[in-house]
């Protein structure tokens, strides 16, 4: 008899540990450190009482007690990580709060006007405050528009800065402005009216060097795109978003068009883009290396540089870490489990930047990927079984069958991702596109082409500008025109469901996760039945002959 695999096996204990670690971070952020520790202590007491009761009854449940204890320890580590970020880290980084000092560093994000147009805002990787050159941290800088500011990404500067802790809260307590900044390990903001170029670079710290390399690559890509599309701001903005996740060229109207059309994920660099990059690198490196292992090794530094060029955003780090784990598993000939790799990536990110747990991009990237891993095999298998039904006779017509298989795979992928993200899309943005399953049928292949052609054009631009501007630019322009056509046609309110911002509550979250679990169990049961029937049929045929 066929026995289905359990959802949680011994190899998934790491998944539980990371989940408990994330719960500890969440509790410490939402409820406070003292109250969270009290809850853990209460849980530990309950577990101890249960273990004592079972022992008196002569029942041995040691492995469950050990697992429960491990999860409590993981939750405690999550709470302790918040403590280190808020208090231990504060002693070294926040001694400058409320003071004015000379700050020197490198501009690592594209300077742009704030929503009120009074200030230029950008991230500054500081490597020195006053006479101390051992300070390494990122500061969100604000420079008045009338200060004569004329710097760009990659410039080294020094500025007389008033340093403060960010106080403005926007939205809910879990997703306010302060938490958003802390998610990128930014604990200070600075305001300066006196900013000057810095000719010398006083540090060789390896992390700063890596970030500098990413900033350099990012600035070169931005400059080449601006030169390729000097009079087409929409194409330039979309291409920057697809290649490096730079959305500085987007306004509210353009954002809404992408959201209403259900394709906003293509301008937030994540798993899709990393997968395209990895596939392209493997094909390219196979031309030079006969051994597959060497091709895998050759992709590692490029992926790391891509992370840096994309500003180490949580969603990019999540996808990149998963690819690196897959490469490591292949090189060591170990079994690769995508779900475990997904949680390892999450654990690594929130261990370095605990408040990244509240990053909208990370949440959407994580839940979309988890939804695909959990639901896609079953949903796609359901469609394939329908296509292969003898009564329909579709399997006899290859011309019809192949497009149907592609459509079923694309729909299954989009639907699986939607199951994982639908609650959070409503929570964060208040709308869900009605046409996302339809528009993604051609947008995903188009983005794959744009990603490859875009980087090729950027490289060729610095080798032969004439070739990039007069020949290679046009296939790329045609693909970008398809995206622009899509958002113009489908990027309207008519094609989206609008939800009031106050609609969702904790009860809705319970209902959502309950429905998601029931869908999973239904699909899993159906798949188990089909598999059992197939095994029984094969066994019958074997015995018959």
| Residue ranges per structural domain of the chain | 10-93, 97-203, 371-431+505-545
pLDDT at position 115, please? 67
pLDDT bracket for residue 4 (50, 70, 90): very low
- CA–CA distance from 135 to each of 102, 128, 139, 363 (Å)? 12, 5, 11, 30
**DSSP labels for 457-506?**
HHHHHTT-HHHIIIIIHHHHHHHHHHHHHHHHHH-SGGGEEE--TT---H
Superfamily of domain 97-203 in the CATH hierarchy: Nucleic acid-binding proteins (2.40.50.140)
**pTM of this structure:** 0.85
Q: What is the pLDDT of residues 104-143, one digit of tens each?
A: 888 888 788 776 667 888 888 887 777 665 556 788 889 8
Structure token pair of residue 370:
């988890």
Residue 121, C-beta contacts closer than 8 angstroms, at least 6 positions apart: 111, 112, 113, 114, 140, 141, 142, 143
Dist CA 420 CA 342 (whole Å): 14
Q: Is the pLDDT of residue 332 over 70?
A: yes
Strand partners, 401: none
Average pLDDT over residues 228-244: 89
Q: Is the pLDDT of residue 32 over 50?
A: yes
Q: What is the pLDDT of residues 254-284, one digit of tens each?
A: 888 888 888 888 888 787 888 888 888 888 8
């Amino acid at each position: 008899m066929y026995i289905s695999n359990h959802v949680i096996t011994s190899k998934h204990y790491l998944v539980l540990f990371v989940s408990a670690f994330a719960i500890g971070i969440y509790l410490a952020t939402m409820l406070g450190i003292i109250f969270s520790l009290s809850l853990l202590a209460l849980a530990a007491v309950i577990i101890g009482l249960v273990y004592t009761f079972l022992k008196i009854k002569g029942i041995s449940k040691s492995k469950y007690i050990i697992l429960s204890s491990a999860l409590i320890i993981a939750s405690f580590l999550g709470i302790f990580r918040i403590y280190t970020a808020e208090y231990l880290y504060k002693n070294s980084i926040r001694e400058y709060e409320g003071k004015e000092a000379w700050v020197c560093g490198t501009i690592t994000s594209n300077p742009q006007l704030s929503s009120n147009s009074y200030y230029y805002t950008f991230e500054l990787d500081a490597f020195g405050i006053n006479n101390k050159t051992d300070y390494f941290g990122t500061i969100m800088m604000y420079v008045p528009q009338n200060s004569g500011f004329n710097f760009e990404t990659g410039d080294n500067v020094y500025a007389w800065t008033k340093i403060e802790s960010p106080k403005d809260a926007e939205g809910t307590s879990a997703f306010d402005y302060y938490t958003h900044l802390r998610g990128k390990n930014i604990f200070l903001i600075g305001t300066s009216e006196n900013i000057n170029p810095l000719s010398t670079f006083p540090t060789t710290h390896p992390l700063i060097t890596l970030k500098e390399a990413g900033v350099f690559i990012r600035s070169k890509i931005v400059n080449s795109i601006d030169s390729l599309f000097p009079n087409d701001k929409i194409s330039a903005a979309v291409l920057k978003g697809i290649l490096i996740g730079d959305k500085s060229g987007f306004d509210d109207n353009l954002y809404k068009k992408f959201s209403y059309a259900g394709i906003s994920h293509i301008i937030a660099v994540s798993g899709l883009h990393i997968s395209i990059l990895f596939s392209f690198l493997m094909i390219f490196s196979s031309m030079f290396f006969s051994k597959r292992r060497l091709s895998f090794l050759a992709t590692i530094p490029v992926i790391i540089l891509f992370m840096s060029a994309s500003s180490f955003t949580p969603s990019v780090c999540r996808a990149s870490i998963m690819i690196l784990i897959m490469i490591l598993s292949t090189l060591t000939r170990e079994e690769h489990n995508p779900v475990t790799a997904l949680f390892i990536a999450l654990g690594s990110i929130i261990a370095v930047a605990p408040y990244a747990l509240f990053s909208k991009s990370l949440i959407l990237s994580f839940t979309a990927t988890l939804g695909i891993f959990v639901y896609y095999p079953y949903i796609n298998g359901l469609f394939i079984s329908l296509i292969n039904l003898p009564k329909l006779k579709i399997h006899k017509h290859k011309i019809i069958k192949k497009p149907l298989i592609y459509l079923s795979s694309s729909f299954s992928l989009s639907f699986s991702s939607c199951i994982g993200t639908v609650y959070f899309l409503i929570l964060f943005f208040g709308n869900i596109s009605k046409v996302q399953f339809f528009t993604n049928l051609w947008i995903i292949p188009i983005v794959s082409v744009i990603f490859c052609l875009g980087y090729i054009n950027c490289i060729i631009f610095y080798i032969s500008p004439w070739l990039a501007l007069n020949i290679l630019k046009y296939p790329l322009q045609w693909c970008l025109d398809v995206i622009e056509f899509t958002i113009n046609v489908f990027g309207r309110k008519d094609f989206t469901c609008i939800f009031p911002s106050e609609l969702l509550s904790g009860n809705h979250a319970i209902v959502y996760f309950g429905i998601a679990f029931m869908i999973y169990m239904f699909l899993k049961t159906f798949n188990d039945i089909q598999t059992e029937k197939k095994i029984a049929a094969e066994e019958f045929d074997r015995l018959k002959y």
